[in-house]
Amino acid sequence: MREHHRGGQSFYVCPRVADISKLEKQLKELVPELKFVTAHGQMATEELENRVSAFYDGKYDILLATTIIESGLDIPNANTMIIHRADMFGLAQLYQLRGRIGRSKQRGYAYLTYDARKPLTKTALQRLEVIERLDTLGAGFQLASHDLDIRGAGNLLGEDQSGHIREIGVELYQKMLEEAVAEIRFKNAVGSAGEEQAVRHEWTPQINLGIAVMIPERYVTDLHLRLSLYRRLGGLESEEEIDSFAAEMIDRFGDLPGEVENLLQTVAIKHLCRRAGVEKLDAGPKGATVSFYKNEFAAVERLVGYIQRAAGTVKLRPDQSLAYIRSWDDPAMRVQGSKRILQELIALLEGKPQPE
């Protein structure tokens, strides 16, 4: 009514088409003085366009709609928005929806509501707290960072979608982008006569131990600090640096949670993989599989002898990867066992005795 009295219009946004009929009834009872029109994605294109156009032309006071309005809609006269059950929307959706108002000289008002009878989930509460804080121009990057922290970044480590990457952080994603760019440059560097310019191509081992590896929010509460720590982790080059980093974490934040210990172990395993020429390591309760970079191993004869000596526990698969038969129900055994496998491969490469 306030928006109506200052000559403006309002959006009422709901998460599901099924909610619209109930909300239509409520609006008729609450504000019988105002005219409203509904819009959602299940309508025919022409009908939807006509309704939105009529709202744009000022024929209605309220547009009751789903998230179909979250982008591409510019109605300067509409500067009040009520979002029904905001806890059911994603963070990016809420940010985009809020951007539909305040697009002219008039001050905009966005109200995010939730059902008082149903407790908010931890994730939903985080989203609402973040959207409440992001009230400045150019807050898109901050939103993306918070969204990444809340939802995780998906699975860039393995072939499936089980998702352990969150655990290693943004640094891995940046490295993969660098690798992709380097590979394109390498291909573009091939001359017409077949001569190749030297292009440095760094590769990142893919590691999946089936364990939680991350810096939990309860341990380091500040998002930007966590991202900074992830970046530093990606630059560690030796066990001494990893031990020094762990000592610093303990000094600043207290005893390391299990997830952080796993993360540090994973970083150490990544460096062992590089030394052993291992491109991918997958480990689970029944053992591990190891794939070599470019399916090549410099000490082939020593590797064959190693497989023969370990007959029954180490097998060469048709795809040139190694399968290790183990019983690693305990995650700690899985980590230590993976490190031992890599140390054995390094010893083969360097022609040294196998580690005890």
Dist. CA 196–CA 80, nearest whole Å: 61
How confident is the model at residue 176, as a pLDDT?
62
User: What is the rounded average pLDDT for all residues in the chain?
Assistant: 82
pLDDT at 178: 67
Over residues 132-180, the pLDDT tens digits come to 776 655 555 555 555 555 555 454 444 444 444 454 455 555 666 666 6
If one looks up domain 2-151 in CATH, what number appears? Answer: 3.40.50.300
Kindly give the pairing relationship between strand 78-83 and strand 109-112. parallel
Comparing 198 with 39, the larger pLDDT belongs to: 39
**Three-state secondary structure along 260-273?**
HHHHHHHHHHHHHH
Kindly report, as residue ranges, where domains of CATH 3.40.50.300 are found in the chain. Answer: 2-151
Say which residues have a Cβ less than 8 Å from residue 282's Cβ, sequence separation at least 6. Answer: 158, 208, 288, 289
- Residues 111 and 82: beta-carbon distance below 8 Å: yes
The yes-or-no verdict on residue 250 having pLDDT over 90 is yes
314-336, pLDDT tens digit by residue?
998 888 889 999 988 888 899 99
Cα dihedral 267, 272, 273, 275 sign: positive
* DSSP track, 289-332: EEEEGGG--S-HHHHHHHHHHTTTTEEE-TTS-EEEE----SHH
pTM of the model: 0.46
The answer on pLDDT for 261 being more than 70 is yes
Higher pLDDT, 254 or 157: 254
Please write the tens of the pLDDT for every residue from 301-316: 888 898 888 888 999 8
Residue 228 has pLDDT above 90, yes or no: no
pLDDT for 195 equals 40
Enter the tokens of residue 219. Answer: 């341990």
Q: What is the mean pLDDT of residues 258-285?
A: 91
pLDDT in tens, 170-223: 555 566 666 667 666 655 654 433 443 333 346 788 898 888 888 998 999 888
Q: Would you state the structure tokens that stand for residue 281, as one six-digit string?
A: 């390591």
- Helical pair 91-98 and 140-151, crossing angle rounded to 10 deg: 160
CATH architecture of 204-350: Alpha-Beta Complex (3.90)
Specify the pLDDT at position 310: 86
Q: Report pLDDT for 4.
A: 94
Q: What confidence tens digit (pLDDT) does each residue in 75-98 have?
A: 999 999 999 998 888 877 888 888
Q: Tell me the mean pLDDT in the region 92-113.
A: 86
CB 242 within 8 A of CB 267: yes
Please give the average per-residue pLDDT across 342-350, as a whole number: 90
> Average pLDDT, stretch 284-295?
90
